[in-house]
Amino acid sequence: MAEKIDLPEVVVWDGNFAAANALRQAQVDVVSAYPITPSTPIVEGYGKFVSDGYVDGEFVMVESEHAAMSGCVGASAAGGRVATATSSQGFALMVEVLYQASGMRLPIVLCVVNRALASPLNVRGDHGDMYLGRDSGWIQFDAYNAQEAYDLTLCAFKIGEDHSVRLPVMVHQDGFITSHTAQNVYPLSDDDAYGFVGKFKEMDEMLDFTRPVTYGAQTEEDWHYEHKAKQHKALIDSRSVIDKVFEEFEKKTGRKYNRVESYMMDDAEVAIVALGTTVETARLVAKQIREEKGIKAGVVSPRVFRPFPFDDIRDALKNTKAVACFDRSSPGGALGMLYNEVSGALMTLDKMPIMTNYIYGLGGRDLTTQSITEVYEELAKNAKDGKRSGKVQQFLSLRGPKMEYFE
Amino acid sequence: MVNESKSVKEFISLEKTELLDWDEVNQGVLLESFNSLNQNPAFLKQEERDYAQTNSYAASVADWRAVKPVYNRDICIDCQNCWVFCPDTSIVSRDKVMIGIDYHHCKGCGVCVEVCPTNPKSLLMFVEREDVDEALSKWPEKKKKSKGEEK
């Protein structure tokens, strides 16, 4: 029986330690890991909890992130509660196995501490790795601070392991800004946390010798499509379970999560759509600019990035006149992903707001309140004039001549 | 003792695989091995096992084979070498009597021919389209050992 830790009502944890404690409290059976900056302390923390007797689990050191996720697939198929953590290049190396995990419907929890992808090599936070996982068939949650990284990791087990879902879940947090910044966190007691997540309920486990099954079969053109369609449905249908678990979590803690978070959107005419720590900065600016300049500003942010909250995001933005989508990932010759997906949702409205796309913060470049203020001012001008004043895609806080594309 | 006239078909028979719709396939492409499992299958012969339709044993998985082994009962000494070495459990042998080749699962690797000790060999490789009776009519004669050749 694992030792318990008597936690005070409020603790000072960074995002990594918050996630490590969530793994401890969920009593994860197996963590197979190849540590990488800035997510290292998550698996390191779990490993220490195991060696100190606070978790009845196994920490498996492997030779690469590909092997780390493969180890997770094996342990999960065997029938255990499984998690790991990674970032950036490590995430990129895991990608092949991410698709295996979701295709086999294995409820692995992956804590992703977002970091830029090389080249050039960079350890700071951007959302390149998060975007890389967006077609992998995983549920993806986005935490904007350490408290949320903790809360969402606990929820991730409960949602992914639900027998009507059975999908792997990523919990994203921003590299360094969240992962390494000590903040006040209100944890659940060990008993409450484990009580909320619940005992792992096996399904189709390979260690059931009375019912031998094959995982990871090959299917060609006569079968593959049906399996992938069924998997897509599972991901889309997981929305109701996510909502149910978020409600349960609110009852337990008073902290309410929504698949789309809206801030000051009741009467907002202009809105910023963003992910990660940028959400909190944008909220600060929205409040200020309402008070100082009378601009009816708001912030909309996907809490659940996959399954993409197509209808909720449309509902949140339906009364706006101008919307800016912030993409913290190198767009690679296209418009940013948030711009494309949010525009796709707003296309189904009778009257679409004026859309703009801002690329920002690559490789950890700071996004200042000044930059966000300027964006809100441009949005307010667009809303007032009823037309776009700048180009569709613009780069924020970039040295050199202004980079912008498309009328 | 199994009657020597028994053919492989009596042991290996495949039903046609039914294509399922997306709402009928197993979650996670999970393939069941058996419909029921009352006994350890390791102690049962293949024809006694209740294979599930999703078990690869229930499907023909050798349609890309280019060359196939042909078995000659007249020469075989039932030594079981081929049965031991076959990587695809495609040598059908019962009570230590060789019966034939399961062409639904044989990939044509040729290891059975390689390990066959008789002279001439009781198993030889032929191109896939070769008729089995035709192949048997072309069987080589016993090869005389040249001086100095190892036994």
Q: What is the pLDDT of residues B2-13, one digit of tens each?
A: 444 567 777 777
CA distances to A35, A133, A137 from A96, rounded to whole Å, are 18, 10, 12
- Identify the pLDDT of residue B6: 65
How many domains does one find in chain B? 2
Vertex A219 angle, CA A134 and A201, to 5°? 65
Q: Please indicate, yes or no, whether residues A155 and A214 belong to a single structural domain of this protein.
A: yes
Q: Please indicate, yes or no, whether residues A200 and A268 belong to a single structural domain of this protein.
A: no
Three-class SS state of A313: helix
Residues of chain A with pLDDT under 70: none
Q: What is the token pair recorded at A374?
A: 């300027």
ipTM above 0.85, yes or no: yes
Does residue B121 form part of some domain? yes
DSSP A145-170: SHHHHHHHHHHHHHHHTSTTT---EE
Domain boundary among A207, A235, A253: A253
What phi, psi does A58 have (nearest 5°)? -120, 130
Does residue B2 form part of some domain? no
Instruction: Give the whole-angstrom CA distance, residue A282 versus residue A149.
Output: 19
Domain boundary among A209, A231, A253: A253
- Neighbour-count burial of A62, counting CB atoms closer than 10 A to its CB (0-12 exposed, 13-18 middle, 19+ buried): middle
- Identify the pLDDT of residue B4: 46
> Of A76, A85, A89, A80, which is closest to residue A55 (Cα–Cα)?
A80
Does residue A85 form part of some domain? yes
How many domains does one find in chain A? 2
Yes or no: say if B101 and B69 are a contact pair by the CB < 8 Å rule.
Answer: yes
Residue B22 has pLDDT above 60, yes or no: yes
- Which residue in chain A has the smallest CA separation from B28? A104
Contact B27 A216 (CB under 8 A): no
Of A106, A213, A219, Cβ closest to residue B33: A213
Assign B144 a pLDDT band (cuts: 50, 70, 90): confident
Instruction: Give the whole-angstrom CA distance, residue A175 versus residue A146.
Output: 11
> Of A371, A356, A290, which is closest to residue A323 (Cα–Cα)?
A356
Instruction: Give the whole-angstrom CA distance, residue A115 versus residue A111.
Output: 12
Q: Please indicate, yes or no, whether residues B31 and B83 belong to a single structural domain of this protein.
A: no
- Which residue in chain B has the smallest CA separation from A210? B37
DSSP 8-state code for residue A348: T
Record the pTM. Answer: 0.91
Contact A226 B20 (CB under 8 A): yes
Does residue A1 form part of some domain? no
Does residue B74 form part of some domain? yes
pLDDT single digits (tens) B75-129? 999 999 999 999 999 999 999 999 999 999 999 999 999 999 999 999 999 999 9
Q: Please indicate, yes or no, whether residues B39 and B81 belong to a single structural domain of this protein.
A: no
Quote the distance between the C-alpha of residue A75 and its chain's center: 23
Instruction: Give the whole-angstrom CA distance, residue B21 versus residue A132.
Output: 30
Q: In chain A, what residues touch B41 (CB-CB under 8 Å)?
A: 212
Yes or no: say if A297 and A286 are a contact pair by the CB < 8 Å rule.
Answer: yes
- Identify the pLDDT of residue B2: 43
Best B29, B31, B38, B54 residue to mutate vs chain A (most A CBs within 10 Å): B29
Domain boundary among A231, A253, A275: A253
Residue B150 has pLDDT above 90, yes or no: no
Q: Please indicate, yes or no, whether residues B70 and B113 belong to a single structural domain of this protein.
A: yes
Q: Please indicate, yes or no, whether residues A208 and A80 belong to a single structural domain of this protein.
A: yes
Q: In chain A, what residues touch B31 (CB-CB under 8 Å)?
A: 213-214, 217
Range of the domain at A318: 261-405
Q: Please indicate, yes or no, whether residues A278 and A234 belong to a single structural domain of this protein.
A: no
Domain CATH number, residue B116: 3.30.70.20
- How does strand A109-114 pair with strand A82-86? parallel
Of A204, A210, A233, Cβ closest to residue B28: A204
Does residue A18 form part of some domain? yes
Q: Please indicate, yes or no, whether residues A187 and A168 belong to a single structural domain of this protein.
A: yes
Assign B54 a pLDDT band (cuts: 50, 70, 90): confident
Q: In chain B, what residues touch A229 (CB-CB under 8 Å)?
A: 22
Vertex A187 angle, CA A185 and A190, to 5°? 155
- Which residue in chain B has the smallest CA separation from A101? B28
Contact B30 A204 (CB under 8 A): yes
Instruction: Give the whole-angstrom CA distance, residue A31 versus residue A162.
Output: 20
Distance from CA of A215 to the nearest CA of B (A): 5
Yes or no: say if A38 and A125 are a contact pair by the CB < 8 Å rule.
Answer: yes
Does residue A6 form part of some domain? no
Does residue B21 form part of some domain? no
Domain CATH number, residue A330: 3.40.50.920
Q: Please indicate, yes or no, whether residues A206 and A342 belong to a single structural domain of this protein.
A: no
Distance from CA of A274 to the nearest CA of B (A): 33
Q: Please indicate, yes or no, whether residues A82 and A119 belong to a single structural domain of this protein.
A: yes
Q: Is the dihedral of CA A179, A183, A189, A193 positive or negative?
A: negative
Q: Please indicate, yes or no, whether residues B66 and B134 belong to a single structural domain of this protein.
A: yes
Q: In chain B, what residues touch A204 (CB-CB under 8 Å)?
A: 27-28, 30
Q: Please indicate, yes or no, whether residues B116 and B52 belong to a single structural domain of this protein.
A: no
Contact A213 B31 (CB under 8 A): yes
Residue B46 has pLDDT above 90, yes or no: no
Q: Please indicate, yes or no, whether residues A183 and A296 belong to a single structural domain of this protein.
A: no
Does residue A5 form part of some domain? no
Of B21, B28, B31, Cβ closest to residue A226: B21
Range of the domain at B54: 27-59
Three-class SS state of B59: coil
CA dihedral A172, A177, A178, A184 (to 10 degrees): -160
